[in-house]
Amino acid sequence: MNITEKILAAHLSDRQAGSGKKEVSAGELINARVDLVLANDITAPISITEFKKTGAKDVFDKNRIAFIPDHFAPQKDIKAAEQCKMLREFSREYGLGLYFEVGRMGVEHALLPEEGIVVPGDLVVGADSHTCTYGALGAFSTGVGSTDVAAAMATGECWFKVPESMKFIYYGKLNKWVSGKDLILHTIGDIGVDGALYRAMEFEGEVIRSLPMHSRLTMCNMAIEAGGKNGIIVPDEITEQYAKGRARREYTFYTSDEDAKYAEVKEYDCSSIPLTVSCPHLPSNTKPAAELSNVAIDQVVVGSCTNGRIEDMREAAEVIKGRKVNPNVRMIVIPATQKVYLQAVTEGLAEIFVNAEAVFSTPTCGPCLGGHMGVLAKGERAIATTNRNFVGRMGHPESEVYLSNPAVAAASAIKGRIATPEEVI
């Protein structure tokens, strides 16, 4: 079996495991035990409503359900406040141990790995499509509907069709400033937004083995943008260094057998992968950043569950230090968690951004989904380190979003158009 199949097999429901079943294969329908259930201020209210309809007396485990208000939080209006209130009241009523109020929260997919709440070998379901992020730790994690989350909250189980797996091998040497964001954008550009539809995307190769955890998290985060059921990386020494000291539970490293089956194998020479930008209105519409210097922009966003970690803050700060945001541009920098925020302040990164005349914000998903803190008007263009650029994603349906890594975003903020770091440094 490959790593995805092994994790699913290890989590088979008691009924299926009790019958002696120890293996799974692509296409099988299974019931599996979940280690963590996740929802946010947009998706949890539906889950709460449906959970109460089930008649369940209690949740399956008070310490395995995470509610994180991050999309419209800090609450942007009355409706958002009511949504967040539902999470708070349900968490109090059922004594949930993983409710994160504003001030203690962060963008969910950055917060849970940082806090050691998701660990290698876990099976995680979340009512958010970017739950696939945690595959970077060697976990099986995937987005599900709010009603599936309601059922999982009651039973501790979820049903799955075991996905076929695709293997993506990255070799060679990364060019300057090229990171996990460029690798995943390049990959999606190659296979398309449905190129891995309901498949596990397993990333491996010499480049992946040397890739730091923040870049791995970025790659697995965007597996869904290729239609993937999950993204996953076999855990190694880098995983161990990340998990050690922060994991709140025992964890297990799973690997893929050498004779494991894959529906498809793709190989990429990373020495030929340039700084890459996704153009409107699909993540797969990719071009080298250097070819887009004629694209003027109005807004730059650095942050989100894709690129809001401290390494992303450092990368953007390195480019913009001692320089100014173009007078025709607004730049919004959003650390993904309170810890990242505090670290950015301590390291002087916040000062660099403010001196460059950028906005430095409290953690929120905010502009990524056109929620708040950076909504686009008609005809405006943004370049962002976020993960989606669908029509109307960041505001007006006649606005445009380009996706890039933090270095390209920062360089673009200085130039007032899409630019590469080499142009400003």
The 10s digit of each residue's pLDDT in 372-424 is 999 999 999 999 999 999 999 999 999 999 999 999 999 999 999 999 999 99
pTM assigned to the model: 0.95
pLDDT of residue 150: 98
pLDDT of residue 35: 98
Q: What mean pLDDT comes out for the span 126-139?
A: 98
Q: Which residue has the higher pLDDT, 16 or 377?
A: 377
Residue 17 binned pLDDT confidence (cut-offs 50, 70, 90): confident
Q: 374-390 burial, b for 16+ CB within 10 Å, e for fewer?
A: bbbeeebbbbbbbbbbe
For the chain, the domains span 3-267, 276-419
pLDDT of residue 15: 82
Q: What mean pLDDT comes out for the span 171-196?
A: 97
In this predicted structure, the answer to whether residue 91 has a pLDDT above a threshold of 80 is yes
Tell me whether domains 3-267 and 276-419 share a fold: yes
Q: What mean pLDDT comes out for the span 354-379?
A: 96
Per-residue pLDDT reduced to its tens digit, 21-32: 889 999 999 999
Residue 69 binned pLDDT confidence (cut-offs 50, 70, 90): very high
pLDDT of residue 127: 97
Q: What mean pLDDT comes out for the span 67-79?
A: 95
Residue 202 binned pLDDT confidence (cut-offs 50, 70, 90): very high
CA distances from 402 to 22, 301, 410, 418, 419 (A): 45, 10, 13, 9, 12
366 within 8 A of 385, measured Cβ to Cβ: no
Q: Which residue has the higher pLDDT, 21 or 247?
A: 247
- Cα 181–Cα 225–Cα 149 angle in degrees, nearest 5: 115
Domain 3-267: which CATH class? alpha beta
Structural element, H or E, at residue 182: helix 180-191
Q: 301-334 burial, b for 16+ CB within 10 Å, e for fewer?
A: bbbbbbbbbbbbbbbbbbbbbebebbeebbbbbb
Compute the mean pLDDT over every residue in the chain, rounded to the nearest whole number.
Answer: 97
pLDDT above 90 covers a percentage of the chain that reads 97
**Bridge pairing between strands 276-278 and 264-269:** unpaired
Residue 20 binned pLDDT confidence (cut-offs 50, 70, 90): confident
Which fold is adopted by the domain 276-419? Answer: Aconitase; domain 3 (3.30.499)
In this predicted structure, the answer to whether residue 164 has a pLDDT above a threshold of 90 is yes
Give the type of residue at 78. Answer: I
In this predicted structure, the answer to whether residue 19 has a pLDDT above a threshold of 90 is no
In this predicted structure, the answer to whether residue 18 has a pLDDT above a threshold of 90 is no
Q: What mean pLDDT comes out for the span 96-102?
A: 96
In this predicted structure, the answer to whether residue 307 has a pLDDT above a threshold of 90 is yes
Torsion on CA atoms 76, 81, 86, 91, rounded to nearest 10: 70
Q: What mean pLDDT comes out for the span 116-134?
A: 98
Task: Enumerate the H helices of 227-348 as residue ranges.
Answer: 237-243, 304-307, 310-320, 338-346
Per-residue pLDDT reduced to its tens digit, 320-352: 999 999 999 999 999 999 999 999 999 999 999
In this predicted structure, the answer to whether residue 61 has a pLDDT above a threshold of 90 is yes
Residue 249 binned pLDDT confidence (cut-offs 50, 70, 90): very high
Structural element, H or E, at residue 158: strand 157-161
